[in-house]
Amino acid sequence: MKNRYDSAEAKAYVARYPDLPAELALRVYTSRLIGAEADLVLHGGGNTSVKAVVGDLLGDERQVLFIKGSGWDLASIEPAGFPALDLDYLRRLRSLDRLEDEEMVNQFRTHMLDSRSPNPSIETLVHAFLPHRFIDHTHADAVVALTNQDDGDRHVRRALGDSVGILPFIMPGFPLAKAVAELYESRPEIDGIVLMHHGIFTFADDARTAYERMIHYVTQAEEYIADQQRRKKRASASAPPPSPPPLERALPLLRGSLNRQGGPFLLHLRQQERILAALNRPDARDLFATGVLTPDHVIRTKNLPLFLDLAGLEGRAAEQRIATELAAYQQAYDAYFAAQTAAKKVSRVKLDNLPRVFLIPGLGLVTAGRTPKEARIAADIAEHTLRAKEWADAVGGYRPLDDGHIFDMEYWSLEQAKLGRATHPPLTGQIALVTGGGGAIAVGIGRQLLAAGAQVALTDIDRPRLDRVAAKLSGEFAADRVLSLEMDVTDPVSVRAALARVASWAGGLDILVPNAGIAHVARLEALATADLERVVRVNLFGVFEVIKAAVPFFRRQGTGGAVVINSSKNVFDPGAAFGAYSASKAAAHQLGKIAALELAELGVRVNMINADAVFDEGDISSGLWDVVGPDRMRARNLDPQGLKEYYRQRNLLQTTVRADDVGRAVVFFASGQTPTTGATLPVDGGIPAAFPR
């Protein structure tokens, strides 16, 4: 592992925070160096601290401990991420015989210098009881791989030498802190401590040395593993790569089976060559369908992944295999929960019994989460776990912690608190596809779907316009929640390819919004057949193609869904010289009613929105009004602003119809707030001639 300490950068950090103790500035710097290494810490894992003297409000000097706060990631931590605690008081706690977890946290909160600071790390007392100024703690993959062995302590000693102390696994908290302090005091010559099945602590009286000791020991572990791999190099698997169903079939089947038991979940797929090769090992199931590297991971990934062999299976056979394996996983989890609560004589509220990590030979690593962040975190951990288990296998044989320790961590209130208790918007875990994604209305539809928690895939044939809308929505929300795909709604091959990409992105499809449309202005006597056909191809056949392509996804998932067609006020109230548009929209509207009849058996609701006069959304114009607007302005002798005012005044409510209004109507139907299908909802401010009838 590369030593990234740079003296000039360290000085720059001290200069960046002139009002803070220099020690804290250096603590921020080396913490970020550690956080930048995924092989050391993942997603908030690990912690760092520094001891310093600061003045209080009365001008008295106090010994304080600055330690990483809960919720902060070392890769991007700022000084505010290090709450300061009264160090002298924390050290006095060591005299106690017992300190319950909840009371320990209370003592942290009541002895912080700033009540607005985040909760200190649950390993605060480890840092307090050790005498060193700088302490670094990581869950380094290479070190943990050495500890997950039948004789892990022997491998740790051989790899890291005698300057490192070793402790068996102890739950974080007061007992661990006392054990670490006692080990150091019995061997004051050590400069690091390995906690089996958990990670490594290094310490020193300056930031650079503590950091460099961490890098040194992790590098030694990596080199030891590499040497063992060379000595025990395995022959590559001779079996041909397995052939599971295509991902656009497999993932919706998996997601549907999972969501029928809980959820809704999104899926995250990784198919790197290294992952596929690992899952094709002859011993893949025995090696990888085992427990977590460190108990800290259990709240993100569950203890066990689900190894799912779908090779050679299609359709109903694949669906049955998934259901059978998932049921077996749930039964095993229930048995684990029952056994542990009985053995420990405790009562706990059982968490869901669904896997978060799926290992599918030939397809890859798949993870599930209610949000893309949850799924991505699980995938990052699972990917590192695959490699670390291969390392452990090369050293001797992978042996995870027993179920008792895993249960203690999984059902530990302080660990659960890391996940928070946030409530989720109504469409969290739902996947939406919106066609016509480069237009003004798509901005409003996309924005409201995202605000309601959905993942949104935008498609359009016009890539520059599509990119502008996607960039706008990604800026307002998170980039990992928006997908932009160039797609031609009139081309079934293009449509199927786009839906397959959506499946690989998030696992399936729940909400379809056919929104693509084009216009042409001409009276019937002047309307060219080719122009009529062009409009019908997009406005009618485009709706048909995307609904047709979406039905297999709804069927595979078996969890219902929603189709919301952006129709038009012109369905009921057509306009002269607008026959191509009005007729094609009316036909698509009728098609939506047929879809409502046919898809009800799948639990899919199909509804229509009749919108009118949405001219633009900020700097994104409406493609339809780009075509229609000039003719309407000439006919009424109006400028652009005058035309907007004309349409505002002509509706009963005399209101401006905005793209977000259309988006809110989509969310109403998509969130299933009423058992409604085959309905038409006007979003036009009230046009009597366009009233549904």
User: What residues contact residue 534 under an 8 Å CB cut-off, 6+ apart?
Assistant: 518, 520
pLDDT of residue 551: 98
Cα distance between residue 80 and residue 118, in whole Å: 8
Averaged over 24-35, what is the pLDDT? 98
Mean pLDDT in the chain? 95
Strands 357-360 and 199-204: unpaired
Task: Say whether pLDDT at 506 is over 80.
Answer: yes
Rg over alpha carbons for the chain, rounded to the nearest Å, is 30
Q: How confident is the model at residue 123 (pLDDT cuts 50, 70, 90)?
A: very high
In this predicted model, what pLDDT tens digit does every residue of 586-614 receive, in sequence order?
999 999 999 999 999 999 999 999 999 89
pLDDT of residue 339: 98
- Beta-carbon neighbour count of residue 639 at 10 Å? 9
| In 36-173, alpha helices (H) | 87-92, 101-110, 124-129, 141-147, 152-160
More confident residue, 510 or 629: 510
User: What residues contact residue 378 under an 8 Å CB cut-off, 6+ apart?
Assistant: 268, 300, 301, 356, 357, 367, 368, 369
Task: Say whether pLDDT at 495 is over 90.
Answer: yes
Q: Is 241 left (phi over 0), alpha (psi -120 to 50) or beta?
A: beta
Residue 536 amino acid letter? V
Q: How confident is the model at residue 239 (pLDDT cuts 50, 70, 90)?
A: low
More confident residue, 111 or 625: 111
* Residue given tokens 């040395």 in the structure block: 209
% of the chain surpassing 70 pLDDT: 98
Averaged over 342-357, what is the pLDDT? 96
Cα distance between residue 540 and residue 521, in whole Å: 17
In this predicted model, what pLDDT tens digit does every residue of 547-586 receive, in sequence order?
999 999 999 999 999 999 999 999 999 989 999 999 999 9
- Beta-carbon neighbour count of residue 407 at 10 Å? 22
Cα distance between residue 647 and residue 656, in whole Å: 8
Q: Which of 64, 40, 37 is nearest to 50 (CA)?
A: 64
Strands 357-360 and 306-307: parallel
Averaged over 420-428, what is the pLDDT? 83
Cα distance between residue 606 and residue 525, in whole Å: 35
pLDDT of residue 254: 98
Q: How confident is the model at residue 630 (pLDDT cuts 50, 70, 90)?
A: confident
pTM of the model: 0.94
Cα distance between residue 655 and residue 686, in whole Å: 9
Could you tell me the CA-to-CA distances from 83 to 11, 36, 115 in Å, in that order? Answer: 23, 21, 9
More confident residue, 427 or 629: 427
pLDDT of residue 615: 87
pLDDT of residue 44: 73
Cα distance between residue 105 and residue 557, in whole Å: 44
Task: Say whether pLDDT at 422 is over 90.
Answer: no
Could you tell me the CA-to-CA distances from 337 to 63, 260, 325, 401, 416 in Å, in that order? Answer: 44, 22, 18, 16, 16
User: What residues contact residue 341 under an 8 Å CB cut-off, 6+ apart?
Assistant: 347, 348
% of the chain surpassing 90 pLDDT: 88
Helix/strand/coil for 536: helix
Which three-class secondary structure string do you get for 579-633? HHHHHHHHHHHHHHHHHHHHHHHHCEEEEEEEECCCCEECCEECHHHHHHHHHHH
pLDDT of residue 148: 96
pLDDT of residue 355: 98
Q: Which domains does the chain have, with CATH numbers?
A: 7-231 (3.40.225.10), 247-419 (3.40.225.10), 431-614+658-682 (3.40.50.720)
> Edge-to-edge, what's the strand order for the sheet holding 199-204?
84-86, 61-67, 47-55, 134-138, 199-204, 192-195, 164-167
Q: Are 418 and 299 in contact (CB under 8 A)?
A: yes
Q: How confident is the model at residue 635 (pLDDT cuts 50, 70, 90)?
A: confident
Omega cis (within 30) before 264: yes
Could you tell me the CA-to-CA distances from 48 to 376, 380, 416, 417 in Å, in that order? Answer: 24, 22, 21, 20
Q: How confident is the model at residue 234 (pLDDT cuts 50, 70, 90)?
A: low
pLDDT of residue 418: 60
Averaged over 502-510, what is the pLDDT? 98
pLDDT of residue 420: 59
Q: How confident is the model at residue 419 (pLDDT cuts 50, 70, 90)?
A: low
Averaged over 297-311, what is the pLDDT? 96
Q: Which of 182, 204, 274, 264 is nearest to 236 (CA)?
A: 274
User: What residues contact residue 301 under an 8 Å CB cut-off, 6+ apart?
Assistant: 292, 356, 357, 367, 378, 381, 382, 385
